[in-house]
Amino acid sequence: MADRFFSTIVDEEVYLWAVVRYIERNPVRVGLVQRAEDYGWSSCNAHVSGFTKNEALHALQKKTNCR
């Protein structure tokens, strides 16, 4: 049986946003909602609407050695 979880270093901004998109789309993939922004436990709606910005993610963008 394959391992369920794994970890990897997210060291590129492009990869960071790919990971964010993957996580935010999971509720749609498993059929919990039709649109990712409708899932109540996700920050997707805030990202899509521009309502708020995630300071932690934006801080990571500025650091080249952040792991």
Residue 6 lies in a domain: no
Confidence class for position 66, pLDDT limits 50, 70, 90: very low
In a domain, 2, yes or no: no
* Three-state secondary structure call for residue 62: helix
Give burial (CB, 10 Å; 0-12/13-18/19+) of 9.
Answer: exposed
Q: Which tens digit of pLDDT belongs to each residue from 35-52?
A: 988 898 887 877 777 665
Residue 33 belongs to a domain: yes
Do the Cβ atoms of 54 and 47 come closer than 8 Å? yes
pTM of the model: 0.60
Residue 29: per-residue pLDDT: 96
For the chain, what is the domain count?
Answer: 1
* Average confidence score pLDDT of the chain: 79
